[in-house]
Amino acid sequence: MTLKQQAIRGALWTGIQNWAGQMGAFLVFFVLARLLEPADFGLVALANVFLAFMQIFLEQGFAQALIQREDLEPEHLDTAFWTNIAIGIALGLLSLLTADWIAAGFDEPRLTPILRCFSLIFLINALRGTQQAVLERQFAFKAIAMRSLLGIMIGGITGIGMALSGLGVWSLVGQQFMNELVGTLVIWKASDWRPRFRFSLRHFRQLFRFGSHVLGLNFLNFFNTKINDFLIGYFLGSVALGYYAISYRILQVMTQLLVRTTSGVSLPTFSRLKHDLNRFRNAFYTVTRLTSAIAFPFFLGTSVLAPELVTVLFGEKWLPAVPVIQLLSILGLVRSISFFKSSVFMALGEPAWAMKLKFLSVTLNLVGFAIAFRWGIIGVTFANMMRGLIVFPVGQWVLSRMVKIPFFTYSRQFSAALVSSLVMMGLLLSVKTYLTSLIEMQIIILSLCTLLGAATYGLMLRTLAPQIVAEFWEIGRVALSRSKDTQKA
């Protein structure tokens, strides 16, 4: 099987994982949002700030180092596994010991038992890290997709069942715990690699030399994403954090569906092409072109239809989240074409550049919050959006110098999708205003605008960039032929 076929097959299974998994997760999210209160989501979001911070030290970059290495030896895998186990146990104990102190810091005594329950997740995730890296290195994305789907399904059933039983915030805790546990069990069943009781200091140094940059990047990425949860929860309260958390969750779902389908295979693919810059650039252009063609209309369409979307899916009690969702949709537009830069830096063995860009982003985020928090979550979200718009051209400049990508050539990859999406957006604004004066039912307005937006965008893209449509047909043909070959076998 060629590298292109491996990448397409991997993207197909990642797409199945993302679309089926995220649609299932969003359905669970939709049900829980109607059963629970914003404060419940805010409380678990606070607990997840601590969980995500501690998780940085568990995910110390060894997985990326294992995927990226050309001369991978069995000792690398064993060393990475036992390092993860030791760190997972240490983090779990630390979580148990500090739960009271952290809860007191937020003046939220209900946090204590939640943090203690989450302490078990560190060991669960430690058992999974090396196994998943092995599967990603082998392009075994089918097994990874099954892990995600089963975890989401069983975790969702658990969460909804607990919510219907009146367990409140614990339904969110149970959902997350079961998701992680089931995912780890599935990964171990799918992988044929098993650790041996050995540890090599030399191999640890080799992995840490690469992973230390990823650790720094993950540390900065935490401040880039979770620090807003911490600051909003501390300064504005758990209710405001609940509105922000559900808005950011929508952005995450859309990013997962529209961007991560291809980003999951980008690191192993780029790593294989790093010695052939022409093919490397072409792969980067292709993934940017196709991702923008999918993501742009969804993000801009969401910014227009956010009021109807929130009312129909979550109910009127969540309407204060609408302006936050609209601003985050613009940020999602930028993220969709920035997402692959980290994979490029990792594949080229230059994770330090990704870390420097994250540091710039974190600095701007903290400065923006300090200025904007007095205007509430809308001010904070606006500052977050502006941060993304500032960092994007800087990152592109670094990438252009590294792999000789002219900005004009790069911008052409997403220009047709952007123009088509803006035309669609303008039409939706006009039509929605007209329909609102005639129709009271929000679901009808949302349905009609969605159909009109899809038709308008498809027609515009077909007119401006027929080659992009042809590329999607080619990917579908390769994926379908591969599926038929698998069935015959």
pLDDT in tens, 148-194: 778 888 998 999 999 999 898 899 999 999 989 998 898 888 888 89
Same-domain check for residues 184 and 55: yes
Same-domain check for residues 196 and 322: no
Q: Residues 6 or more apart from 466 whose CB is under 8 A from it? A: none
Residue 230 lies inside a defined structural domain of this protein: no
Give the confidence band of 425 by pLDDT, cuts at 50, 70, 90. Answer: very high
| Position 262 pLDDT exceeds 70 | no
Give the confidence band of 343 by pLDDT, cuts at 50, 70, 90. Answer: confident
Same-domain check for residues 191 and 324: no
Same-domain check for residues 413 and 360: yes
Residue where one domain finishes, among candidates 203, 225, 247? 225
Residue where one domain finishes, among candidates 225, 248, 270? 225
- Write the pLDDT tens digit of every residue in 104-121: 887 788 889 999 998 999
Q: At what angle do helices 407-436 and 376-403 cross, to 10 degrees?
A: 150
Q: Are 424 and 457 in contact (CB under 8 A)?
A: yes
pLDDT of the residue at 267: 62
Same-domain check for residues 357 and 472: yes
| Average pLDDT for 186-207 | 87
Residue 488 lies inside a defined structural domain of this protein: no
| Average pLDDT for 383-411 | 86
Residue 291 lies inside a defined structural domain of this protein: yes
- Tell me how far apart the alpha carbons of residues 257 and 289 are, in angstroms, rounded to a whole number: 16
Residue 381 lies inside a defined structural domain of this protein: yes
Same-domain check for residues 277 and 203: no
Same-domain check for residues 279 and 300: yes
Residue 184 lies inside a defined structural domain of this protein: yes
Q: 21-25, 377-381, 446-450, 461-465: which has the minimum mean pLDDT?
A: 21-25
| Position 271 pLDDT exceeds 80 | no
The count of structural domains within the chain is: 2
Same-domain check for residues 205 and 241: no
Higher model confidence: residue 486 or residue 154?
154
Percentage above 90 pLDDT, the chain: 24
pLDDT of the residue at 486: 46
b (16+ CB within 10 A) / e for 342-369:
bbbbbbbeebebbbbbbbbbbebbbebb
Same-domain check for residues 23 and 150: yes
- Tell me how far apart the alpha carbons of residues 141 and 302 are, in angstroms, rounded to a whole number: 29
Q: Report CA dihedral (347, 353, 359, 361) to the nearest 10 degrees.
A: -70
Residue where one domain finishes, among candidates 225, 249, 266? 225
Same-domain check for residues 184 and 257: no
Domain residues for the domain of 255 are 237-483
Higher model confidence: residue 38 or residue 184?
184
Same-domain check for residues 241 and 381: yes
Residue 143 lies inside a defined structural domain of this protein: yes
| Average pLDDT for 136-145 | 70
13-17, 44-48, 157-161, 243-247 — which one is most confidently predicted on average?
A: 157-161
Residue 169 lies inside a defined structural domain of this protein: yes
pLDDT of the residue at 478: 60
Q: Which whole-number Å values give the CA distances from 240 to 52, 53, 96, 154, 369, in the listed order?
A: 20, 21, 27, 29, 15
pLDDT of the residue at 11: 54
| Position 249 pLDDT exceeds 60 | yes
Same-domain check for residues 370 and 464: yes
Residue 152 lies inside a defined structural domain of this protein: yes
